[in-house]
Amino acid sequence: MKYAALVLFLSLLLSCNGDKREKALYFAHNSPQSHPVHKGALKFQEVLAKKSGGKLTLKIFPDGQLGSEREVLELLQIGSVGITKVSAATLSNFVPEYSVLGVPYLFRNNAHKFEVLEGEIGKSILKKGSKFWLRGLSYYDAGNRSFYTKTKPIYTPEDLVGLKIRVMNNQMAINMVNALGGSATPMAYGELYTAIQQGVVDGAENNPPSFVSSNHYEVSKYYTLDEHSAVPDVILIGTKAWEKLSSEEKVWVQEAADASANAQKEFWRISVESSMKKAREGGVEIIIPEKSVFANKAKSVLQEFQASYPELALLVEEINAK
């Protein structure tokens, strides 16, 4: 009933925008308004309005107002919402090619990551979702995920042995932590602070802005920057909304999405710097390990992935060759 009411509400919003001289696209996301994602969305809104001369506008619904990532994806598929931001990890449940971006230690560094995502490989993955009514427009930076723990610092994979590490409910993440010697423990993100505080889990893994904004740095005093994964966010437009745009409008939307992605990278960089500063001031010990030791230990995850999905293994090889 809640879902049906939401669809009806959105339909009424759309019907109220009856002036044919102006079109509106609805952009829903789950991030707070202080987050680099929302700041990127505002840039999208600004550039689209400028390029279209106000003929095509973006209305933004932040803070999960229109539902969870998965719920909003479904709204895109039926055409009730136009655009959203979603993690490539979540999107891999719809479009298998996105799962490649979760392979541990896939990217050598940030320069390599953006070369792949903004080049032909990244663009080809964005197009794969069209057959599922989810057309990719651009990538947003979601940083690099690293381990943080409550009582024991992590210098090498051996230090993870016997530790319960919270992960997303994603098979790649589970396999990675287990391969490194830890005990992967899927758990809802909202339960994590209390779980670390009470010792239900020994730690977790995430990027610096999430580590700090969630206040996990208050209960986890060791942060090891092994940067085991760099799963990006993806800006999507539903194909139903895309097909209603003229050729000129499609150009405006794509150019605005690209401009917002470039701006969001800088918003993210600033957020990482301020988050790391706050973590240090909060008494967190920042550990810079030898990443190659972790990467070598995690190779079995890649090998298993390549054996299970030979068609996607070719994509990994293309990325490694860049």
**295 CB-side CA count, 13 A:** 13
User: Is the separation of the CB atoms in 143 and 172 below 8 Å?
Assistant: no
Residues 163 and 290 in one domain: yes
What is the rounded CA–CA span in Å between residue 249 and residue 126? 19
Query: Same domain for 50 and 93?
Result: yes
Residue 59 lies inside a defined structural domain of this protein: yes
**Residue-wise pLDDT tens digits, 228-240:** 999 999 999 999 9
How much is the pLDDT for 169? 83
Q: Are 163 and 152 in contact (CB under 8 A)?
A: yes
Taking 50 as the threshold, does the pLDDT of residue 257 lie above it?
A: yes
Provide the 3-class DSSP secondary structure of residue 226. Answer: strand
Listing DSSP states for 254-269 in one string gives HHHHHHHHHHHHHHHH
How far apart are alpha carbons 225 and 130 in whole angstroms? Answer: 36
Confidence of residue 10 (pLDDT cuts 50, 70, 90): low
**Would the pLDDT of 210 be above 80?**
yes
pLDDT value for 268: 97
Q: CA Rg, the chain, in Å?
A: 20
Residue 277 belongs to a domain? no
Q: Are residues 36 and 133 in the same domain?
A: yes
Q: How far is CA 191 from CA 57, 84, 111, 184, 209, in A?
A: 37, 25, 34, 15, 18
Q: Which two tokens stand for residue 55?
A: 């003929």
| CA trace torsion 110, 112, 118, 124 (10° rounding) | -130
Q: What range defines the domain where residue 317 resides? A: 145-230+283-321
| 218 and 117 in a common domain | no
Is there a single domain that holds both residue 32 and residue 75?
A: yes
Give pTM, 2 decimals.
0.88
Question: 109 and 98 in one domain?
Answer: yes
Q: Does any domain span residue 287?
A: yes
- The tally of domains found in the chain comes to 2
pLDDT band at 84, cuts 50/70/90?
very high
Average the pLDDT over each of 169-178, 201-210, 288-297 and give the range with the smallest value.
169-178
Q: Are residues 201 and 129 in the same domain?
A: no
Query: What is the pLDDT confidence band of residue 252, given thresholds at 50, 70 and 90?
Result: very high
Report the pLDDT averaged over residues 295-318: 93
Is residue 100 a part of any domain in this protein? yes
Statement to judge: residues 109 and 237 lie in one domain: yes
What's the pLDDT at 179? 96
Looking at the structure, do residues 53 and 114 belong to the same domain, yes or no? yes
Instruction: Give the integer Cα–Cα distance in Å for 193 and 172.
Output: 23
Q: Is residue 197 located within the same domain as residue 222?
A: yes
Contact 257, 27 (CB under 8 A): no
User: How far apart, in whole angstroms, are the C-alpha atoms of residue 120 and residue 40?
Assistant: 23
pLDDT at residue 90, rounded to an integer: 85
Q: What CATH code is carried by the domain that includes residue 246?
A: 3.40.190.170
- Domain membership of residue 278 (yes or no) is no
Q: What is the pLDDT of residue 134?
A: 95
CB-CB contact of 83 with 57 (8 Å): no
Say what the pLDDT of residue 2 is: 52
Between the two ends of the chain, the Cα-to-Cα distance in Å is 49
Q: How far apart are CA 49 and CA 253, in angstroms?
A: 10
pLDDT above 60 for 190: yes
**Does 253 fall in a domain?**
yes
At CB < 8 A and 24+ separation, what contacts does 268-276 make?
Answer: 268/36, 268/140, 268/141, 268/142, 268/143, 268/209, 269/141, 270/36, 271/35, 271/36, 271/208, 271/209, 272/143, 272/207, 272/208, 272/209, 275/208, 275/209, 275/211, 275/212, 275/213, 276/208
Mean pLDDT of 116-123: 96
Residue 9 has pLDDT above 70, yes or no: no
Pair (267, 130) in one structural domain: yes
Q: Tens digits of per-residue pLDDT, 40-78?
A: 999 999 999 999 999 999 999 999 999 988 899 999 999
Band (6; pLDDT cuts 50, 70, 90): low
Same-domain check for residues 128 and 268:
yes
Residue 5: pLDDT above 70?
no
pLDDT at 13 over 80: no
Strand ranges in 141-212 using DSSP code E only, listed in sequence order: 145-149, 164-167, 183-186, 203-206
How deeply is 172 buried, as exposed, middle or buried, from its count of CB atoms within 10 A (0-12, 13-18, 19+)?
buried
Angle of helix 2-16 relative to helix 69-78, nearest 10 degrees, comes to: 50
Please determine, for residue 302, whether its predicted confidence score (pLDDT) is greater than 80. Answer: yes
Provide the strand spans (E) within 75-197: 83-87, 134-140, 145-149, 164-167, 183-186
Q: Which residue has the higher pLDDT, 34 or 270?
A: 270
